Every structure is written in structure tokens, then in C-alpha cells.
Amino acid sequence: MFLSPHSENTLFGMGNPLLDISAVVDKDFLDKFGLKPNDQILAEDKHKALFEEIVKRSKVEYHAGGSTQNSVKIAQWMIQKPHKVATFFGCIGTDRFGEILKKKAEEAHVDAHYYEQNEEPTGTCAACITGDNRSLVANLAAANCYKKEKHLDLDSNWELVEKAKVYYIAGFFLTVSPESILKVAKHASDNNKIFCMNLSAPFISQFFKEPLMKVMPYVDILFGNETEAATFAKELGFETDDIAEIAKKTQNLPKDNAKRQRVVVFTQGKDDTVATVAQNDNRVTMFPVLDIDQNDIVDTNGAGDAFVGGFLSALVQEHALEECIRAGHYSANVIIRRVGCTFPEKPDFH
């Protein structure tokens, strides 16, 4: 299916719009702030100084980020035309960083509708790079102020939700507005549209398991990486650390809309991506990722978001699962060759 010019707002994303502040650091820096080399956490008081220090590093880069926003941007980049196939909702502050996010969304041709408030500054995420690891520390600030009744529920905004056919919300947004997620997820389920979610980080399964499991019956496609899958399995008492088994058990969790069987897709860095395929078939399929020379990997930050973005670009065009995964592998392969979740002018994907 070729996307027609009326396909604006076919893909809907909602999440935490953050400005990524990315710098190469050393182990001492990680140790100083008690960070693991490869992790995602929410900033605490002890991390305040981290944000002050990281901006003073010699090679600091600023990129529009936030997991969901990255993914819808990549989806839009893969699709190219028409513009504004992707809609994005989230909360920013009325400040310079907020203006940068607006400008970057516009440059990426994403139809961003931000809830703007002036009590909290625009959220930031420190990406502390060591080698090919990245430790992310998110200071949500404004992103945490998203209000369902002040934004999502407004008729002009809800109309954009109704226009969409595919929905994607990263698990990170569960810490902000689970009621907004549920409203969108139920709409998708009631209208037999596709609702996708991401496990996003181990701490989501550990500390936000209740809201996560409230949304799970509405999830048609669940994404995650190997670490997140293992944590999720542990929290749910699956009693297996076999990723294929975890995928099957996750697929079989209760589901509201029986017309669509849940699809589970787990990426594993350079190892094969695991996906559950046809119903009544207890197999999962392994999809090898594209080969890449270790020396070509610049920054793995954003690889997971990019995979989802590529996947969604094929999904909104109603391609088969295998094709969606191939598109995801392509976009992830492009993004890890560059700093931040950035991309060349046009994709070279056939």
C-alpha cells in the first residue's frame, strides 16, 4: 500500500519529549554518579550536578530526544512523503529547550502538538557515552506535567487520536500519565486498530508493573530488548530466562481485542531479533540483524527507538511482520553509525 496524501496523522505517538544532552565520559564519571555503563534511569537529587557537569564537557551535543518522539520521527523519515504521517503529544516548558524541540519536530515533519506549561522547564536526558555503551539519566521536569484533561481530552486533540490507525507509546510514559495511555489504548482496542507499547527499561517492569499490566490487555505489539524482557519475566514469575519462552508467555497474557493476536518483538543488540509469529503456532522466529563492523558503531543510543520507528513505518503501510522487522533493522543500523538519534537526509531502504 502506498500512503496516500490523506494519510496525515495515521501514526500516533505520545510520550516524554526530552532534549538529549550527549557526551563521551569516562568510568570515573559513571562511578561518581553511581551509573551503570548501559542503563536508563530517572534522575534523582544526587544527579543534579551531573547535568551541570556534562554540559561543560568538550564535545557535548544536543539532540531532540525522548523515546517515543525518536521513534515517530524515524518512522516519518522512513516514509518521507506525505509529511505529518506521524502525530506526537507530550509536555514541554516555555523555554529555549522547548523551542528547540518544536523546531526539530517541525524539521522532521512530525505533527507535534505539545502541551506547554511554565511551571517546569523542558525535560532533558543526559546520555553518558563510554565506548559503545550509553547510560541515560532522564530529568523529566515538564514531561512529567502532561495532563489528560488539559490536552488529550480537548476535542481538537482527540480528533487527531481518532484519525490514527497505529498507536505507539513507550513504557516510559507510564510514569507520567497512565490514564492517558489507557484512554488511547481502549480507543484502539474498541476500534480494532493497532496499539503498540515498549517495555522501555528494566525499572518500568520493576516499579511500574501495576500500570503496565493494566494496559497490557490492550497491547497488540509489544517491543523490548533482552534485558527488559528478562526483568519483565522475573517480575511476572515466568520462571524462565529463555528469551523465546518469555516471548511466547508474554504473547499469551490476557488480551482484550481477540481479533488481533498479540505480537511480541524482542531485540538483542547484535544478536537475532526474536518475534512471535502466527497464532496456534508455538514457535518464535529469529531474525538476524544487519552485519556491521564494530568500528562503524558510533553510538548505540537510540538504536532501540530507531528499530521501533522503522518497524512502525512499515506497519502503517500494512506490510507483513517480516517486512516490519527488516525495516526496523535497517533504521537501527543507520542510527548506530551516528551520534544521537539522528539520520541522513533520505533512507536507502528497498
Catalytic residues: 305
Q: How far is CA 345 from CA 105, 268, 311, 334, in A?
A: 15, 27, 19, 12
CA distance 148 to 156: 13
Only one residue has cell 480507543, namely 187
Cα radius of gyration (the chain): 19
CA distance 277 to 170: 22
Of the candidates 93, 99, 12, the residue with the CA atom closest to the CA atom of residue 64: 99
Q: E strand or H helix at 170, and its extent? A: strand 166-170
Q: 290 has which bridge partners?
A: none
> What are 30's three cell numbers?
559513571
147 by Cβ neighbours in 10 Å (0-12 / 13-18 / 19+) ranks as middle
How far is C-alpha 192 from the chain's CA centre?
A: 22
Catalogue the E-assigned strands of 66-132. Answer: 86-93, 111-117, 123-130
Q: How far is CA 166 from CA 11, 84, 87, 151, 191, in A?
A: 5, 14, 11, 20, 11
CA distance 207 to 201: 11
Q: Are 60 and 340 in contact (CB under 8 A)?
A: no
Reduced to 3 states (helix: H, G, I; strand: E, B; else coil), residue 334 is helix
Angle in degrees, CA 151, 152, 156, rounded to 5:
80
> What are 217's three cell numbers?
490487555
